[in-house]
Amino acid sequence: MSRNGERVLIIGSGPAGLFAALRLIELGKKPIVLERGKDVRLRRRDIALIHKQHLVDPDSNYCFGEGGAGTYSDGKLYTRSDKRATFAGFWKYLLASVHRKIFSSKRTPISGRINLPRIIAAIRACIRSSGGEVHFETRVTEFLLHDGAVQGVLDQHGNRHEARQLILATGHSARDIFELLHHKGIAIEAKPFALGVRAEHPQSLIDEAQYRCSQRPDYLPPASYALVDQVAGRGVYSFCMCPGGIIAPCATKPGEVVTNGWSPSKRNNPFANAGIVVAVEMTDLEPYAKYGPLAGVHFQRHVEQSAWRLGGERQSAPAQRMIDFTENKLSQSLPACSYQPESHRSYCRTCCPPRLATGCRKHSKHLARRCGGTIRTKPFSLRRNRGRVRLSGYAGSRNAGTPSNQRVVPLRRRRWLCWGIVSAAMDGERCAERAASLPLPT
């Protein structure tokens, strides 16, 4: 029970923050979750505004709000591990709260009557009923440090939230937090990331290529694919493939365009999409070297702003048919696609450095070949896909604030898991355990 336990602030209510809170409760602590966005129900309205009116609320959007970035997806639970017992056990909180059984495989949608918003609301209820707190529309803007020790944080309204420990679970998109950390002299480290485009094609085309039949029988699920390539020594690969999926506008600020993909749990949309991403290397970041560990963040912002300008200064995504992308021609027309805020005919390659665009272009040809050599006839749409800067969490206690401080602990991802909901949640748990094991200042 956490009611009288030591307070631990958790910034962010994505999978990392929520599972950190649950673990802290188990360890007898009192988690106080501060979330800049709204609860899962109210957040939907702001997402609708992005689709319909091209308005992006910097605190409530596809990435920010209760449940974090993947809340409205089918919640594919990725793990490359065969240790599925660990994986299933991971959802014990969910099983306890909604009394259902989840069957997991390496890539399973949470389907049927269980869906992510309901799970997340159940987790919130569980945290509150166990003595923890969850506060929405509370954006952390300042860390309160005294003599290097964490005292608490300030939110955007100037309210003070006190605690001697703090878990930062603000995800990949909270650039303001990266900047705040850097500004405070807390050591941060850039991690490798990838950046590219979203390729969309008719699901029937992928079915045909993968199942080798003209029409997918009902007993087969919409097909997916995973491609890995090397182009001029660089890794290029498909990422977050969404069968029967939708391309979503995932910008976190006005003036930027970012796309990501998700599948509804039935995967019954007529399109399939995937990120085609290229590994970003240090040489790509040279023009931003003056920003130190934030070079990648500035590079990413520059690309997203370029995409916004190319898209007509709205949430319309710059788009091109695949054949035109590979031949660097402006498309005469665009095919129907799942991206609701519209697409805008553009030269997509101009959004990012030529080396990255070339990687995407060559890999796209590979993809087209895999789809039966259809590159010259089938329409593909292209969307930008967000690169990721990984700095997902910190547990801090005394002496936080000095770069060499060992008590500010950047989380390391478990190698046998790939990025996503599962790895974030496991990082959250580990961070909670670390916070609970650190001695507190007297």
Nearer to ligand FAD, 174 or 205 (CB): 174
Does position 63 interact with ligand FAD (CB under 6 A)? The reply is yes
Does position 90 interact with ligand FAD (CB under 6 A)? The reply is no
Residue of the chain from 8, 57, 78, 321 that contacts ligand FAD (CB under 6 A): 78
Rounded distance between C-alpha atoms, residue 200 and residue 171, angstroms: 26
Alpha-carbon Rg of the chain, whole angstroms?
A: 22
Does position 269 interact with ligand FAD (CB under 6 A)? The reply is no
Rounded distance between C-alpha atoms, residue 397 and residue 152, angstroms: 10
Residue of the chain from 371, 420, 430, 435 that contacts ligand FAD (CB under 6 A): 420
| Torsional sign, CA 93, 96, 99, 105 | positive
SS3 state at 182? helix
Nearer to ligand FAD, 143 or 325 (CB): 143
Nearer to ligand FAD, 277 or 421 (CB): 421
Rounded distance between C-alpha atoms, residue 171 and residue 12, angstroms: 8
Give the x-and-dash track for 23-52 against ligand FAD (CB under 6 A): -----------xxxx---------------
Does position 177 interact with ligand FAD (CB under 6 A)? The reply is yes
Task: Report the helix count and the strand count for the chain, using DSSP H and E.
Answer: 11, 20
Q: What is the 3-state secondary structure (H, E, C) of 343-368?
A: EEECCHHHHCCHHHHHHHHHHHHHHH
| Sites for ligand FAD among residues 112-151 (CB under 6 A) | 139-140
Residue 142 is inside which H or E element, if any?
strand 140-146
| Sites for ligand FAD among residues 365-404 (CB under 6 A) | 392
Does position 351 interact with ligand FAD (CB under 6 A)? The reply is no
**How many positions of this chain bind ligand FAD (CB under 6 A)?**
43
Q: How far is the CB of 358 from ligand FAD (least distance, A)?
A: 26
Nearer to ligand FAD, 298 or 390 (CB): 390
Q: How far is the CB of 13 from ligand FAD (least distance, A)?
A: 5
Q: How far apart are the first and last CA of the chain?
A: 23
Residue of the chain from 250, 317, 334, 357 that contacts ligand FAD (CB under 6 A): 250
What's the DSSP call for residue 405?
-
SS3 state at 272? strand
Q: Are 124 and 134 in contact (CB under 8 A)?
A: yes
Residues that bind ligand FAD (CB under 6 A): 11-17, 34-37, 62-65, 68-70, 73-76, 78, 139-140, 169-174, 176-177, 248, 250, 260, 262, 392, 419-422, 424
